[in-house]
Amino acid sequence: MILPGSTIGVLGSGQLGRMFAIAARRMGYRVHTFSPDQDTPTGQIADEEIIASYDDLDAVRNFARNVSVVTFEFENVSSAAVEAASEFAPVRPGGHVLHTAQHRLREKTFLANHGFPVAPFKRVASLDDLLAALNEIGCPAVLKTAGFGYDGKGQSKITSPDQAQEALNALGNQEAILEAFINFEREVSVVAARSIDGAFVHYGAVANEHRNHILDITVAPAPIPSRINQEAIEITRGVLETLDVVGVMCVEFFLTPQGKLLINETAPRPHNSGHFSFDACVTSQFEQQLRAVCGLPLGSTELLRPAAMANLLGDLWQDGEPNWAAACAFPNVKVHLYGKLAPRKGRKMGHLTALATTAEDAEQYVREARAALIKHF
Ligand code: AMP
| Domain harbouring 42, CATH code | 3.40.50.20
26-38 pLDDT, tens digit per residue, is 999 999 999 999 9
Q: Could you tell me if the CB of 107 is within 6 A of ligand 1?
A: no
Q: Are residues 34 and 172 in the same domain?
A: no
**Quick one: which atom of ligand 1 is closest to the CA of 180?**
19
Residue 111: inside a domain:
no
173 in Cβ contact with 125 (< 8 Å) = no
Give the pLDDT mean for 189-214.
Answer: 97
The pLDDT, as a whole number, for residue 75 is 84
Q: Are residues 280 and 357 in the same domain?
A: yes
Domain that holds residue 229: 186-372
For residue 91, what are the β-bridge partners?
70
Ligand 1 centroid to residue 359 C-alpha, Å: 24
Model confidence at 376, pLDDT cuts 50, 70, 90, reads low
Q: Could you tell me if the CB of 231 is within 6 A of ligand 1?
A: no
Q: Are residues 240 and 343 in the same domain?
A: yes
Q: Could you tell me if the CB of 215 is within 6 A of ligand 1?
A: no
Q: Are residues 245 and 339 in the same domain?
A: yes
Q: How many residues belong to the chain?
A: 377
- Domain stop point among 139, 156, 180: 180
Number of independent structural domains in the chain = 3
Q: For the chain, what percent of residues have pLDDT higher than 70?
A: 98
Model confidence at 154, pLDDT cuts 50, 70, 90, reads confident
Cβ-based neighbours of 302, under 8 Å, separated by 6 or more: 281, 282
Model confidence at 152, pLDDT cuts 50, 70, 90, reads low
| CA atoms of 67 and 90, how far apart (whole Å) | 9
Q: Could you tell me if the CB of 95 is within 6 A of ligand 1?
A: no
Q: Could you tell me if the CB of 337 is within 6 A of ligand 1?
A: no
The pLDDT, as a whole number, for residue 76 is 85
Give the pLDDT mean for 359-367.
Answer: 98
Q: Could you tell me if the CB of 260 is within 6 A of ligand 1?
A: no
Ligand 1 centroid to residue 188 C-alpha, Å: 12
| CA atoms of 373 and 328, how far apart (whole Å) | 10
14 in Cβ contact with 41 (< 8 Å) = yes
Q: Are residues 249 and 364 in the same domain?
A: yes
263-291 pLDDT, tens digit per residue, is 999 999 999 999 999 999 999 999 999 99
Q: Are residues 191 and 256 in the same domain?
A: yes
Residue 44: inside a domain:
yes
Residue 107: inside a domain:
no
**In this structure, what DSSP letter does residue 314 have?**
G
3-state SS class at 292: helix
Residue 109: inside a domain:
no
| CA atoms of 83 and 74, how far apart (whole Å) | 16
- Return the CATH number at 364: 3.30.470.20
Q: Are residues 248 and 306 in the same domain?
A: yes
The pLDDT, as a whole number, for residue 95 is 94
Start-end of H helices in 206-284: 226-243, 277-280
Q: Could you tell me if the CB of 142 is within 6 A of ligand 1?
A: yes
Q: Which of 105, 142, 153 to mutate to test the pocket of ligand 1 (most atoms within 8 A of CB)?
A: 142
| CA atoms of 138 and 131, how far apart (whole Å) | 10
- Domain stop point among 72, 91, 110: 91
Cβ-based neighbours of 277, under 8 Å, separated by 6 or more: 191, 203, 220, 283, 284, 285, 288, 301
Pairing of strands 261-267, 247-255: antiparallel
Atom 5 of ligand 1: nearest residue by CA position: 152
- Domain stop point among 133, 153, 180: 180
Q: Are residues 174 and 197 in the same domain?
A: no
Per-residue pLDDT at 150 exceeds 60: no
Model confidence at 153, pLDDT cuts 50, 70, 90, reads low
Q: Could you tell me if the CB of 265 is within 6 A of ligand 1?
A: yes
Q: Are residues 330 and 198 in the same domain?
A: yes
**In this structure, what DSSP letter does residue 300 have?**
P
- Mean pLDDT for the chain? 96
Ligand 1 centroid to residue 181 C-alpha, Å: 8
Q: Are residues 194 and 337 in the same domain?
A: yes
Per-residue pLDDT at 148 exceeds 80: no
Atom 13 of ligand 1: nearest residue by CA position: 213
